[in-house]
Amino acid sequence: MISMRIGARSVCLAVGATGLSLVLAACGSGSSSGGSKAASTATTGVTITVALASDPPPKASLDEFTKSTGITVKWSNIDWDSLQTKITAAATAKTYFADATDVDWSRVGQLAKLNAFYPMNEYVDTKSLAPDMPQLTSFTTKGNVVGIPYDASFDVTTINKKMFDKAGVGRPKTMTAYTDALRQIKTKGLVQYPLDIPFAAAEGLSTYWYQATGAFGGTVLDDKGKPQFADPQSPGYKAAQWMVDAFKSGLVPPGNINVTDSQGQQTLMAKGLVASVFGDYSGTVGSLYDVPASSKVVHQVTYLPTPSVDGQPGPNNGNPDGIGIPRTAKYPKAAAKFIEWFTSAKNQADFAGLNGPEKALPAYALPSHLSVVKQMATKGQLIGGDQLATMLKSTSRPIFAGGAPSWYPEFSRAVYTNLHSAASGAQSVDSAVKAIAATADRLSSSRS
């Protein structure tokens, strides 16, 4: 190609340059980036950037906010997965990218350990919020509140009541009855595969399993992060077995080996191709199944109190979205004011459309204030609102009592890759569960 005649001098130059780079790199790793001035305590006359995986509030609302506080809001809408990448990149590089951003329930432990966010309890009166915001507990770890939940997403079972009624199976209250009901629907020929389980190796499979574990009467990890599911008689083990058995025995479409949670909801449940999603998300009836542009089963889907072992309503695991203040924020106090406003009961009522469509936030499923959910249910504006309000109040609970552990993403990946391969037949349920348990053991002992 090109002459390989490289002089000795050139080699020395190259080596020298590389060495210099390494030295600079090693030195540079400790220092923080040049733009870190002390965060301003200004609370007025500034512009803050808010980065969330959702549409901004209506312009009218934001203008009102700016008028009353003097804070201008620049909104940055980034999709959830990419936003998590950005949050991590900015935390590692200790760089500013927003004054307020998403705090996902699953990252509470990790972000707290990284000390990447300001404790919200120092800026906002979280104690008085707590009674009206049951899911605040998911965001509290070691006494600090990492973020404020702005919606109240939780896992809930949805059923196609038309199919259930046609098969004459009523509303099952136990896991056994639920599974039987599905079998009946299958044998009666209403659908070929009645149950949707998203077996793609993605996060939705993990949360589905946690919800099933709750239905079988237990939790996945104890408060020290030790696995509770290794024993074949434990709820977690039974839940995994139940899921894989359902798949292998023809209750779940074979194609689901590669279907994610949202895919299953949109392409199967909303098309009437399955009869039930055991671990669906609260609000989907209003935001998906009853929307004619997206669904073929309008008015046919309803929520079901979680089937359990003893017939009492089972738990509904919470997976709410929160908003918090990164430590690199330029205007933390102003951001706190914004968060207070954004998560206030009044605004949530507006966003939910209770005060007219011009103030509504599109695709806002469920407010985090219990009082607002109740309002919506009373006004008939929340489809299945009564059920959801009840669940939010009494049966919804955090997946992890002390907030998600700091090593949650790695653990979750072990969960979904192993459950996926158990469903595909690459390993048995037993070896999958053992692998997940081993990961949990390793992570909980090496990292606190």
Partner 1 sequence: MRDGRPARMGTDAPAAVAPASGGARAHPTATRGTRPRRLGPRGAGPDGTRSRRRRVDLLPYVLVTPLVLFIIGLAIIPAGYTLGQSFFRVQELDPPTRFNGLDNFRALLADPAVRGSVGNTALYILIGVTLSTVLGLVMALTLQHKFRGRPILIAAMILPWALPGVVEGIVWSGIWDANTGLLNSVLTSLHLIDQYHVFIGTNRFLTILLIEIVQVWQITPLSALLILAALQNIPGELYEAANLDGCSAWDSFRRVTLPLVRPGVAVAMVQAVIATLNVFDQPFVLNGAAETGASLTMQTYFISFQNLDFGQGYALSLLITVLTLFVSFVVVKLVYRPVEF
Partner 2 sequence: MRRRIRPRWFGVAFILAWSLIPLYWALNISLQTDAQVGSRPAHYFPSSPTLRNFHTLLAGSGEIPGQIRRSALNIFVECAAATVVTVLLATLAAYAFARMRFRGRSVLLYGVLATMALPAYATLIPLYRIMSSFGLVNTYTGIVLVYVSGFLPLATWIMHNYMTSLPVSIEEAALVDGASRMGVLWRVVLPLARPGIISTTIITFLFAWGQFLFPLVLSSDLSTQPLTVVITALQGRHVVPFALLSAAGILAILLPAAIAVALNRYIVSGLLTGSVK
**Applying CB under 8 A, does 19 fall inside the site for partner 2?**
no
Phi, psi at residue 40, to the nearest 5°? -75, 145
**Which residues ranging from 306 to 335 are in contact with partner 2 (CB under 8 A)?**
321
Q: Which one, 43 or 266, has the nearer CB to partner 1? A: 266
Of the candidates 433, 402, 79, the residue with the CA atom closest to the CA atom of residue 240: 433
**Applying CB under 8 A, does 85 fall inside the site for partner 2?**
yes
Q: Considering CB distances under 5 to 8 angstroms, the limit depending on partner class, which of partner 1, partner 2, none binds residue 56?
A: partner 2
**Which residues ranging from 340 to 359 are in contact with partner 1 (CB under 8 A)?**
none
Token pair 């900015």 in the structure block, residue: 90
**Applying CB under 8 A, does 5 fall inside the site for partner 2?**
yes
* Residue 78 vs residues 25, 86, 102: alpha-carbon distances, Å: 31, 9, 10
**Applying CB under 8 A, does 22 fall inside the site for partner 2?**
no
How far apart (Å, rounded) are the C-alpha atoms in residues 340 and 346? 11
How many CB atoms are located within 10 Å of the residue 447 CB? 13
What is the per-residue burial (b if ≥16 Cβ within 10 Å, else e) of 91-124? Answer: beeeebbbbbbbbbbbbbbbbbeeebbbbbbebb
Q: Which one, 72 or 424, has the nearer CB to partner 1? A: 424
**Applying CB under 8 A, does 413 fall inside the site for partner 1?**
yes
Reading the block at residue 253, the tokens are 């479409």
Enclosing H/E stretch for 321: strand 321-324
How far apart (Å, rounded) are the C-alpha atoms in residues 332 and 100? 8
**Which residues ranging from 26 to 55 are in contact with partner 2 (CB under 8 A)?**
28, 33-35, 49, 51, 53-55
Phi, psi at residue 235, to the nearest 5°? -60, -40
The footprint of partner 1 on this chain (CB under 8 A) covers a number of residues equal to 51
Listing DSSP states for 174-238 in one string gives BHHHHHHHHHHHHHTTS-S--EE---SSSHHHHHHHHHHHHHTT--SB-TT--BS--STTSHHHH
**Applying CB under 8 A, does 89 fall inside the site for partner 1?**
yes
| Interface stretch with partner 2, choices 238-246, 292-300, 381-389, 412-420 (CB under 8 A) | 292-300
**Applying CB under 8 A, does 10 fall inside the site for partner 2?**
yes
Q: Which one, 54 or 306, has the nearer CB to partner 1? A: 54
**Which residues ranging from 115 to 134 are in contact with partner 2 (CB under 8 A)?**
none
Of the candidates 85, 107, 86, 82, the residue with the CA atom closest to the CA atom of residue 96: 86
| Interface stretch with partner 2, choices 77-85, 221-229, 370-378, 405-413 (CB under 8 A) | 77-85
Task: Give me the least distance between CB of 425 and partner 1, in Å please.
Answer: 8
Enclosing H/E stretch for 111: helix 108-113
Task: Give me the least distance between CB of 86 and partner 1, in Å please.
Answer: 10
How far apart (Å, rounded) are the C-alpha atoms in residues 442 and 68? 51
**Applying CB under 8 A, does 71 fall inside the site for partner 1?**
no
How far apart (Å, rounded) are the C-alpha atoms in residues 284 and 265? 9
**Applying CB under 8 A, does 108 fall inside the site for partner 2?**
no
Q: Which one, 156 or 175, has the nearer CB to partner 2? A: 156
Token pair 């030790």 in the structure block, residue: 226
Interaction site with partner 1 (CB under 8 A): 1-3, 17-18, 21-22, 24-26, 28-30, 84-85, 88-89, 91-92, 110, 113-114, 200-202, 253-260, 267-268, 271, 273, 406-407, 409-410, 413, 416-417, 420-421, 424-426, 446-447
Interaction site with partner 2 (CB under 8 A): 2-7, 9-11, 13-14, 25, 28, 33-35, 49, 51, 53-56, 74-80, 82, 85-86, 89-90, 92-93, 95-98, 153, 261-263, 265-267, 270-271, 273, 281, 284, 287-288, 292-296, 321, 362-363, 365
